Amino acid sequence: MRYRWIALAISCLSAVVAAGVLRPRYGGTLRVETSAGPKIGATENPAATPFAGQIYETLVHCDSHGEMKPWLATAWTHDAAMGKWIFSARKNVVLPNGTLWTPGEDILAVPDTKPLDEILVEASLQNKAVAESGAFRISNQRPGEFIRLVANENYWGGRPFLDSVEIQMGRTRHDQLLDFELGKADVVEAEITDIKALKQPNVVVQVSKPRETIALIFENAKISDPIRQAVALSIDRSSMQRVMLDKQGEVSGALLPQWISGYAFLFPTARDVARAKDLAPPGATLSLCEDPRDRVLRSLVDRIAVDVSQSGIAVRTAISACDADLVRLPIRSVNPQQALLSLASELRVSAPAWGPPFEMERELLHDYRIVPLFQFPFVYALRPNVKNWSAQGDLADVWLEEN
């Protein structure tokens, strides 16, 4: 019996030790590289970077289930007499200058002219951020190149584990992987075509659900509807996914992936060259932008040019001043309506009328100015000591295990 108690004690001690190793710890600097390039600053659109939510905060917040939850506002009530929704401001929010956040009525009183769910979704958009009150604050930056964030010691949600985060921006995925191999970065982005090669000792590969839409965006408003539709019908998405993407990613004609919207399959993806030839006017021409820094998009653009030329449209590729551009559109929310409004804002197109997500998305896509092709996951290569990394760019819970 005595030996059983000794064995049990040893087992319990081992469990405690093991738990201690995995317990989050405070301190350290996380080095991150990203292809995103816009400046993060008080005069810039906070939605321009996936890390903006760590600095700028909104009245309400979309959780991982797509539900709107209290954030800088703790509650909201309806004032029928005034015809407004009144938001209650959180009391313990400290701004960078050390003062308490005291928002005015223009922020906390919202006219009751829309459904409440629309008001809440709009209030959660990053371009509607109302305070620089996040878990991190900017300590240094070189616009478009580098930013250093430091922990907000007075954060109302509790101090983050990391002391600081250093973010190198505008880095190609090739250069990111090179820096990762040289030990210059802890977290880098990777392509979906790199997943197999990255599976090696001392590398943690994190692959999210599809969170990025690859779409052809027509920048030149002079390109007619028939030409845009002909281009959409000419592209052989399935062949490109099978051969060029090594069967990675998902073929899609929708902006939002199926797992978020539930209706992506309703947007057609089939190729119809005969119909494209009927639509394309004689002598039609098109220029496609080719980003020399993005090897995956560059190869896809070259293949798109070949496909579209088969419809009778003369296609050329260029680096700038093009009719259309192949871009990556990050899906920043799992709430379909919030995600669509964010995409409209980033693309600088008119926001769709509020309604069921399918109707909103169909409005954005009806004129073929935006032609979705694929949905990619976010792929990250991480050092083994990086814990709790999130594809949503949430840095507050990330911590570094001691090496």
Q: So what's the pLDDT on residue 9?
A: 43
| pLDDT tens string 353-386 | 999 999 999 999 999 999 999 999 999 999 999 9
Cα dist from 45 to 219, 317, 365, whole Å: 21, 31, 24
pTM: 0.88
- Are 382 and 206 within 8 A, CB to CB? yes
- Are 73 and 60 within 8 A, CB to CB? yes
CATH 3.40.190.10 fits 29-37+135-208+380-400, yes or no: yes
pLDDT at 113 over 90: yes
Q: Which CATH architecture has domain 210-377?
A: Roll (3.10)
> Given phi > 0 = left and psi -120 to 50 = alpha, else beta, which region is 348?
left
At 341, list the tokens. Answer: 């409004």
pLDDT at 78 over 50: yes
Give the C-alpha separation, 46 to 333, whole Å.
15
Say which residue, 23 or 261, is predicted with more confidence: 261
Q: So what's the pLDDT on residue 393?
A: 79
Q: What is the dihedral of CA 177, 178, 184, 185, to 10 degrees?
A: 0
Q: So what's the pLDDT on residue 50?
A: 60
Give the C-alpha separation, 192 to 253, whole Å.
19
Q: So what's the pLDDT on residue 3?
A: 39
> In percent, how much of the chain has pLDDT > 90?
80
pLDDT at 46 over 80: no
- Are 391 and 187 within 8 A, CB to CB? no
pLDDT at 80 over 80: yes
pLDDT at 2 over 70: no
| pLDDT tens string 305-362 | 999 999 999 999 999 889 999 999 999 899 999 999 999 988 989 999 999 999 999 9
Q: So what's the pLDDT on residue 392?
A: 81
pLDDT at 64 over 90: no
The total of other beta-carbon atoms located within 10 Å of residue 211's CB is 21
| pLDDT tens string 163-209 | 999 999 999 999 999 999 999 999 999 999 999 999 889 999 999 99
Q: So what's the pLDDT on residue 7?
A: 42
pLDDT at 8 over 70: no
Read off the pLDDT band of 143 (50, 70, 90): confident
Q: Which of 100, 78, 99, 83 is nearest to 91 (CA)?
A: 100
Q: Per-domain residue ranges for the chain?
A: 29-37+135-208+380-400, 57-128, 210-377
pLDDT at 120 over 60: yes
pLDDT at 45 over 80: no
Read off the pLDDT band of 6 (50, 70, 90): very low
pLDDT at 15 over 50: no
